[in-house]
Amino acid sequence: MWGAAAVLLAAWPWSAWAQAVEVEDALRATYEAVALVPSPVFELAFRWLGERLPPSRLRTFVHGDYRLGNLIAGPEGLRAVLDWEGAHIGDPMEDVGWCCVRSWRFGHDHLPVAGLGQREELRAAYEEADGPEVEWEAWRWWEAYGNLRWGIICIMQARRSLDGHEPSVELATIGRRVSETEWELLHLMEGR
C-alpha cells in the first residue's frame, strides 16, 4: 500500500523544475535564519549533501509531507492522503526519503519506514507498483535531507515559543528533537 501510493503521487511526469541543489540552498537559508547557535552536525550534513547531490533524472508531483500521519487506511487499503500544502514538483525520492525520517518511527527505530517496515520492502512495493527503479544513493540523500529538514523545523517550532510569538510547552519541547535528527544524520552519513 505504502509503495503503491507513493507511485501514484509520482505518476504525473513534469518537466525539470527544482534541482536538489535548489532545495538544499533554500534549506540552508532557512537554517541560517532560525538557528540560535550553529550545529556542527547540521553543518557537516549540509557539506555531505552538497558533495553527493543526486542526479536530477525525474521530476514528478511530490506530496512534501508523505508520512504515516498523513495517510488514512481502512480494511480495503489506502483511503486518503492528507496535508497537501507542501505539494510541489520535485524528485519522487523526496517523498520516499521523508517517510523514513527517524521521528516518524515513533520508537521503532529498527523499522526505518515509518516504524512499520524495512527500506527493502518499500523499494520492492514501489517498483512493483510501476514506480521507477529506486536508486539507493538518491534515497539515502533524500532521507538525510529529510532528517535535516525536520531538525530545522524543530528549531523553528521551538523558536516560535521561545521568542514569545506562540508560548507553548509543546512547541518549546519540540526543540529537544533536534538531537534525534543529529544522531540519525550521523548514522546516515556513515552509511548505516
Task: Report pLDDT digits (tens) over 121-165.
Answer: 999 999 999 888 888 999 999 999 999 999 999 999 999 999 999
pLDDT of residue 118: 97
CA distance 107 to 85: 27
Q: Scanning the structure block, which residue is given the C-alpha cell 511530490?
A: 62
Asked whether the beta carbons of 57 and 6 are under 8 A apart, the reply is: no
Specify the pTM: 0.87
Angle between helices 40-51 and 178-190 (to 10 degrees): 40
Q: What angle do CA 148, 71, 173 make, to 5 degrees?
A: 45
Give the cell for residue 43.
Answer: 553543518
Burial class of 66 by CB neighbour count within 10 A (0 to 12, 13 to 18, 19+): buried
Average pLDDT value for residue range 105-132: 93
